[in-house]
Amino acid sequence: MVQCSGMVVDSASLEPGSALFGGRNRTAILVSIRMLEATYPSELAALLGLRLFTVQQALRALELEQAIVTRSVGRTRLVTLNPRYPAHGPLADLLWQLGANDHALQTKLAAARRRPGSGR
């Protein structure tokens, strides 16, 4: 668990069955990407209380499976769901539902996006 600007999200806060995508961390990462629409690895690590390396490994695997896409924006690696993924619509809907049922995650993600001067 990591605290960043007073915000901590435990990836274990997702409901039972949240290991749907291979593990709690991987599921939490996918749900967060969907809820944020676009994010970057260090933001995910801070919000989910995970090591950056753990997030990067999960993102690498998800990108190889073509579920997400990344692109460089300056020195930042921006992460989004892959709109060309064959099951993009159903996947996005499922991830949204998982996120909608995790009120702690919603609160943390909303606070992260409202911080003034965060450069996002």
User: Per-residue pLDDT tens for 6-37?
Assistant: 444 454 455 544 667 888 899 999 999 999 99
* Residue spans of the chain under pLDDT 50: 1-9, 11-12, 16-17, 116-120
- Token representation of residue 29: 């990462």
The domains located in the chain, with CATH, are 11-111 (1.10.10.10)
Predicted structure pTM score: 0.77
